[in-house]
Amino acid sequence: MTEQLSVNIGDAQDRTLPLRAGRIAPLQDLDRIRVLTDVEDEQGRIVPAGSVGTVVVSWAGGRAFEIDFTDPVEATASVERDVIEPVGRRVD
């Protein structure tokens, strides 16, 4: 039996993410994440902590990701796994 973890962000709907061996399943392209700290985008702009974005590329076996953000700043940033948390799974 697979355990489930429900998460939500602001006014967004609750999403259920499967847990595997007590951990959230690995992030996949198009999953939604939230950054836990300020991050710098490719052009030096700051994406503030709490911003939500979409995974577009995974590197180094899921230890780093390229994330597209649209609000509060339109940006693309390379982000390490330890400064993000999942907020929604892509829908196939």
Q: Whole-model pTM?
A: 0.70
- Domain assignment present for 54: yes
* Domain count for the chain: 1
- Domain assignment present for 4: no
What digits encode the pLDDT tens for the residues 44-77?
A: 999 999 999 999 999 998 999 999 999 899 999 9
| Beta strands, E only, the chain | 4-7, 15-20, 23-24, 32-35, 39-40, 46-47, 52-59, 64-69, 75-80, 84-88
- Domain assignment present for 78: yes
Residue 51: which domain range? 27-88
What digits encode the pLDDT tens for the residues 7-30?
A: 333 443 334 444 344 455 689 999
- Domain assignment present for 21: no
- Domain assignment present for 70: yes
pLDDT bin (cut points 50, 70, 90) of residue 89 is confident
- Domain assignment present for 42: yes
> Which residue matches tokens 């951990």?
23
